Structures are given as structure tokens and as C-alpha cells.
Amino acid sequence: WRESLLFEVVTSEASYCRSLDIVVEHFVKSKQLGAKLTTQDRNWLFSRLFNVLILSCSFLSKLEERVESDIMSFTVCDIIARHCQRFRMVYVPYLTNQSYQDATYQRLMNENQDFKQIVAKLERSPVCQRLPLRSFLVLPFQRITRIKLLVQVSTTPLRQHREEDDSRHGRGPAGHQGSEAPGEGNDGRNSFWLCIHAGEKHLKNRSQ
């Protein structure tokens, strides 16, 4: 079952990357939509989405390389750990822009009829699969929390095994530092949890 979870990290990242590509190519790069936005509104609405896409494609490429190198026995936690700093640099600004993004979207929908009509037209395209623009904008928040769950679940057996082994051999916590999930070490991995906490806070606020 652990292998299936690791595969889900890879396959779900591929799906996420495709969805990001849709919002960037179909909405962000739309000349019709861009003509109805000021530079400031555009920045608040689509802030760093292109950077999120680039990071996702890079991350996915590394994940796929790992699977291809050893499809029967592979791990992805080290890849996630190496991407932590980039996650922080790209995701934190996007996540913290949430209040501006929401306010800008709502204001434009209420006050800019041209914007509203163009968005509705773009959303009707088959490429969107009946999903509204808002659902694409929230994807980074959902993804960063999903990765946390998948990594925690997939690494639990490994941590438990090492803890049991340490106990049998009389070793303390230092004996299993290498089994820590991203964010539990004392390096840039804390950036990973920082992104996740911001994403979880955003999703909680949206549900209220």
C-alpha cells in the first residue's frame, strides 16, 4: 500500500501540473481577459501562477525520473526535501496573496461586466471540463496540503520501523534522524511545513 501512495504522489502531481497548465494557457495568457485587467489587478489575480507551474513541472520531472529508475522500489521524500526551499520561495508569496486575490476576483465580477462575461466564456471551453476559474486558482492551496498528507502516511511505516529498531538497540532519537519526513529536520525542510500551514489556513478560511 505504501508503494501505491508513492505512485499517487507522482500521478496526482501530473494531474496538478496539467490543471496549472490550463489556467496559465487558457486564462492568464488570454489576450481578451488581459485587456480588461489593470497591471495591479492582473498581479493580484494571477500572482506567481506561472512560477507555480514551472516549479510543478520541474518537481514532476524529478519524480518521474525516480519512478523510471526503479519502478518496483522507490521513494520521493528526498526529492521533496530538496525542493523545500523552492516551495517556500514560490508557494508562500502565492498563498499569502490569497486575500488580495479573493478581493480582486470578487470586485471584478461585481463591477466589471466585460471581465465577468469573458471569464464565463473561457470557463465554457471544453478544456476547463466545467470547472470555474476560482477552482483553478485554489489548486496550489489544495496541492500543498495533499502532499503533506501523502508524505506523512507513506513515511509512517518507515519511522515506526526505525523507532522499534532503535528501541531494541538502546538508541535514542538521534539514531533515526535520517527517517524524518520533509520539514522535521533542522534544514530548509521547515519551509515545506511553512507552505503547508499557509495552505491549510487558507482552506479553513474559505470553508467558514
In CATH, what number is assigned to the domain containing residue 132? 1.20.900.10
Q: What is the pLDDT of residue 208?
A: 57
In a domain, 150, yes or no: yes
Rounded to whole angstroms, the Cα distance separating 116 from 105 reads 10
Residues of the chain with pLDDT under 50: 157-166, 168-169, 171-189
- pTM to 2 decimals? 0.75
Torsion of the alpha carbons at 195, 198, 199 and 203, rounded to the nearest 10: 170
* φ and ψ of 70, to 5 deg: -160, 80
Given a contact cutoff of 8 angstroms between Cβ atoms, the answer to whether 172 and 166 are in contact is yes
In a domain, 61, yes or no: yes
In a domain, 74, yes or no: yes
Reference 79, options 19, 4, 21, 6; nearest CA is: 6
Task: Count up the domains in the chain and report the number.
Answer: 1
In a domain, 166, yes or no: no
Q: What is the pLDDT of residue 122?
A: 98
Q: What is the pLDDT of residue 162?
A: 46
